[in-house]
Amino acid sequence: MTHLTITAAALGATPSLDPIDIDEDARPLHGGRGEDVTAVHPIPNMPNGAALFLADGCSTGGDGHQAAQAAITDVMMHMTLARWDPAALPRAILAADRACAARADTGTTTLIGALIVDGQVWLASVGDSQAWMFGEERVELTARQERRRVGDRIAMPEMKGPLLLNGHLVLASDGLWRSLWPEHAQRVLQSCGRRPAAALIDHVIDRRRELVDDTAVIVATRRLGLTHQVHMPPALTDWRQHDIAPLRAAERILK
């Protein structure tokens, strides 16, 4: 048996939404700070399925936070209509690109979408937010399209998959990667216990002692050969000692 754990954490100068969790009734849940937005969505009728989305908005010419939220909402709507077929993910991102570009007051945004079904990962991305797979090897799954964003009408989603998930899948905005090299992230993940997303942000805090940018992280962890279990962890450590905005995180193991 295997189990899938999904954790999320966000750090920034503006108040976050409620802690991210997976509800029993499979409602989409959003979180994040500043212009970074995350969403974790159980895939209907797929007990071993989950959809992960991360967007980092840019406010040049519009509202970056609104762009990030709208892009994720648009992609989720199109994926629902496509019955969460992984092949539809690039088309859903292109549809979100057109929709964001049509909104006069909306900025642009990076976007990563990942579908996990029965231990396989499909991922598509636009922009410079990064996704990495950490297992026996360290593999980057995104192309770092620094000059392309959802909403600029030139989005070109890069698609990867299916890939076997045996280890950690990390989706994060550039607020994390500016302060943490992937090899350092891999070392953190090897000793992070059951809160990998929070551990990554905590490591950035310990190293920088200041905010470089809003930061959002989603980590999906799947280990082969583990007994199935369901766990809801207690509240995280009080982060006020760091003298910055508190980090909010939650985790849930999916069947």
- The phi-psi region of residue 11 (left if phi > 0; otherwise alpha if psi is between -120 and 50; otherwise beta) is beta
Residue 77 burial by Cβ neighbours in a 10 Å radius (0-12, 13-18, 19+): middle
| Whole-number Å distance between alpha carbons of 175 and 79 | 27
Q: Count the neighbouring beta carbons within 10 Å of the beta carbon of residue 134.
A: 22
Query: What does the pLDDT look like over 86-105, one tens digit per residue?
Result: 999 999 999 999 999 998 77
Helix 89-102 to helix 64-81 angle, to the nearest 10 degrees? Answer: 140
Geometric angle at alpha carbon 134, from 129 and 138, rounded to 5°: 85
The topology (CATH level 3) of 3-254 is Phosphatase 2c; domain 1 (3.60.40)
Average pLDDT of the chain, as a whole number: 77
> pLDDT, tens digit, for every residue of 104-149?
777 899 999 999 998 999 999 999 999 999 988 899 999 878 789 9
Tokens of 94: 């292109």
- Which range, 25-39, 63-77, 204-218, 224-238, is most confident? 63-77
Q: Is the pLDDT of residue 16 over 80?
A: no
Task: Please tell me the predicted confidence (pLDDT) of residue 204.
Answer: 82
